[in-house]
Structure 1
Amino acid sequence: MNARSILEQVMKQAGSGRQQNAVGLDVQGLVGSLSSSLGGGGASQGTRGSGVDVKSLLGGGALGLLIGSKRGRKMGGKALKYGAIAGVGILAWKAWENSRGGAGKDEAREGQPMDRLEGASREQRSLELLQAVIMAARADGHIDDRERALLTEQIDAMGADAELHDWVEQQLIAPLDAEALARRADSPQAAREMYLVSVAVIDEQNPMERAWLDQLGGALGLDDAMRQELERQALGA
């Protein structure tokens, strides 16, 4: 699979999405336009008559579809936390250092941040984080068949290979299982990164999404202090 390449593109979208917040980007409206365009040639043609290039604004659309497109949200002040996806490794590591009052002698046991991984290790971490993002986006139960098809199409447009395509489709229909997701974390640092990207995606005002985040935090073995610090890092991203 080429999960690393796809995650890196999603991370770039997160960074650009934070900048787009300054002009009040309405994700719901853009995705609605994207959906309407499918009846006349597909997403690759952009939106008709609106003069808006959805693929340009959302970097292919996958992040916009994952983050709040069905919830009637605008990328307002809360959208700043989406930038946490772009800097997930650094921010999760910083959260650990802050919770310990600085790096300690047990640093080696924490695992490496995403940014320092190479080869198969980076590919595996990318897959873990992609799964966490997808599960968090599904936590409100509102991704329907049409939106699943759109999301898969957008990820394919990023260059997903056949294996990753099939994996994404499976993640979009698999039962939400925080314990199973947490078992994929191969280190404490991976666990922190999975929680951080989940914080970036969920709407904390939605009880179902908040419940998912609480379940995941428990399954990952993160104490209350660490969860609070990770959420603080996300909001300050």
Structure 2
Amino acid sequence: MNVMSVLNQLMNQAQGGQSHQGGSGTDINRMVNNLGNQLSGSGRSSGGSSGIDMKSLLGGGALGMLLGSKRGRRMGGTALKYGALAGVGALAWKAYQNHKSNSQDAMPATPAQQGQPLEQLQGADQERRGLEILQAMIMAARADGHIDANERALLTEEIERLSPDDELQAWIQTQFDAPLDAQALAQSADSPQAAREIYVVSAVIIDDQNPMERAWLDQLAGALNIEPNLARELEQQITAEQA
């Protein structure tokens, strides 16, 4: 399945890119080059101008529909920053490092023990993590129960513009029919780092002012064994990317 090709294009939409071509999308290599700074906590790979207002996502591609702008989502000047979604691995790792530094646990936190960030993975490992992230995004988009048949048809059309192969397209359709099961999603996480990335993309997609969506995120945190302090740190990092 061409998972990363599709995921890269969704990430590009988060940046405000308009391309729907199969060969375009987020430059993963650029994120890898900046990952050292993210892991060390010495800086962010993207500047303050890297996001776009969610209003520009109204009807604007698959990501805009996943974000639920069609459902009357509260706008309020909220901006979705590139780093909050496209830099999900680095963001999740930085939040974990911050969490460790504020805890009494002196055990070292290394990618070898915790799992590598998405941006550092290659080949089949990156495709597998990408599939986990796509699954999390779709489940979060469904958390309020308001993707009806017409909206699903529109979303399917937008996803087709991303040129998924037949296997991935079939998999995506099964995700729209599958039960919302936080435990099943959590079991797909291949490492603690993967669990944190799943939580981050879910937190980006949901509207935390919607009780059903907030309840889904809290349920997912429990299934992923993400303790409350770490969950808050992950959400604070998203907020920091939106500043």
2: CA distance between counterparts of 1:106 and 1:225? Answer: 16
Work out which of the residue numbers 140, 146, 153 in structure 2 matches 1:142. 146
Using the size of structure 1 for normalisation, the TM-score is 0.81
Structure-to-structure mapping, 1:28-177, within 5 angstroms: 30-31=58-59, 58=60, 61-73=61-73, 75-80=75-80, 83-101=83-101, 105-107=108-110, 108-177=112-181
- Matched residue type, 1:116: Q
- Matched residue type, 1:15: Q
Instruction: Flag structure 1 segments of 5+ consecutive residues without an equivalent.
Output: 32-57
- Structure 1 segments of 4 or more deviating over 4 A? none
Using the size of structure 2 for normalisation, the TM-score is 0.79
**Partner residue, 1:39:** none
- Root mean square deviation, CA, Å: 2.0
Structure-to-structure mapping, 1:152-231, within 5 angstroms: 152-231=156-235
Measured after TM superposition, the shift of residue 82 of structure 1 is 6.8
State whether residues 51 and 79 of structure 2, in contact with CA within 8 Å, keep that contact through their aligned partners in structure 1: no
Work out which of the residue numbers 42, 52, 59 in structure 2 matches 1:20. 52
Measured after TM superposition, the shift of residue 83 of structure 1 is 4.5
1: CA distance between counterparts of 2:148 and 2:176? Answer: 10
2: CA distance between counterparts of 1:75 and 1:206? Answer: 13
1:115-148 per-residue CA deviation (whole Å, 9 max, x = no partner) reads 0000000000000000000000100000011111
Could you say which structure has the higher helix fraction?
Answer: 1
**Partner residue, 1:37:** none
State whether residues 202 and 217 of structure 2, in contact with CA within 8 Å, keep that contact through their aligned partners in structure 1: yes
State whether residues 52 and 80 of structure 2, in contact with CA within 8 Å, keep that contact through their aligned partners in structure 1: no
Identity among equivalent positions (%) equals: 59
Measured after TM superposition, the shift of residue 11 of structure 1 is 1.0
State whether residues 137 and 202 of structure 2, in contact with CA within 8 Å, keep that contact through their aligned partners in structure 1: yes
Change in CA separation of 1:208 and 1:135 when aligned onto 2, cut-off 3 Å? same
- The alignment of Structure 1 onto Structure 2 pairs a total of residues equal to 205
